[in-house]
Amino acid sequence: MYDKIIAAVLSGDTEAAATEAKLLTDNGVDPLQVIDQGLIVAMGEVGRLFKENEIFVPEVMMSAHTVTMVIDQLKPMLKEERASLGTVIIGTVKGDLHDIGKNLVALLLANNGFKVIDLGNDVTPEKFISEAKAHNCDIIALSALLTTTMINMEATIKAFVDAGSRDQVKIIIGGAPVTADYAASINADGYAEDAASAVDICKQLMS
């Protein structure tokens, strides 16, 4: 059922992927399933091909662009619940430009009753701190996809400690190289391996 959209993402054919996504949702498929079974599966395959040197950065960028465009197309179909559960500030840490996973976490949180402020990618610790203060936020969600930028999660948490505001927020982390052990080792309050579990963690932290 998802073969065509996966193939379109792999070849970076945004038009074909968008058409296939529309066809699926027109036929009653849940947009979240299209994201989960189509787009995320396709990006997993892109990752495998990239790792095995079968494709290179330009192809990965085209696939990433396709996924971003299709998610934007699907977004209006997802019902956004009234934000009432709490405010989450999310961003990809300093030095890291990967944002597809972070965007999915933001999307699901917004769809599950959280107010989400997305700071984008390459976000400095100082920016997280100033935005947390400005929005009186409850949870900070940090994303990192590179082993070389994971260290900036620890730096961000330390910056909150140094600023004297660590007790005012919960901090959760995630991204492909991140583990629960790593989260514990840097004193994060939570870790989740995918967007749906990120919602569960945030709900737990707010209860």
Residues that bind ligand B12 (CB under 6 A): 40, 43, 46-47, 50-51, 57, 60-61, 64, 95-102, 104-105, 141-143, 145-148, 172-177, 192, 194-195, 198
Q: How many residues does the chain have?
A: 207
Phi first, then psi, for residue 124 (nearest 5°) are: -75, 155
Largest CA distance in the chain: 53
Q: How far is the CB of 172 from ligand B12 (least distance, A)?
A: 5
| Identity of the residue, 186 or 198, whose beta carbon is nearer to ligand B12 in the bound complex | 198
Helix 14-26, helix 3-10: angle, nearest 10: 160
- The nearer residue to ligand B12, 95 or 113, going by C-beta atoms, is 95
CB 194 within 8 A of CB 175: no
Q: Tell me whether residue 32 or residue 163 sits nearer to ligand B12 (CB atom).
A: 32
Give the distance, in angstroms, between the CA of residue 46 and the centroid of all CA atoms in the same chain.
17
* CB contact at 8 A, 97 and 82: no
Q: Which is nearer to ligand B12, 10 or 28 (CB)?
A: 10
Minimum distance from residue 142 beta carbon to ligand B12 (Å): 6
Q: Strands 114-118, 139-143: parallel, antiparallel or unpaired by DSSP?
A: unpaired
Q: Rg of the chain over CA atoms, in angstroms?
A: 17
Could you tell me which residues are beta bridge partners of residue 115? 87
Shortest approach of ligand B12 to residue 166 CB, angstroms? Answer: 17
Q: How far is the CB of 50 from ligand B12 (least distance, A)?
A: 5
Min dist. Cβ of residue 133 to ligand B12 (A) = 20
28 or 124, CB closer to ligand B12? 124
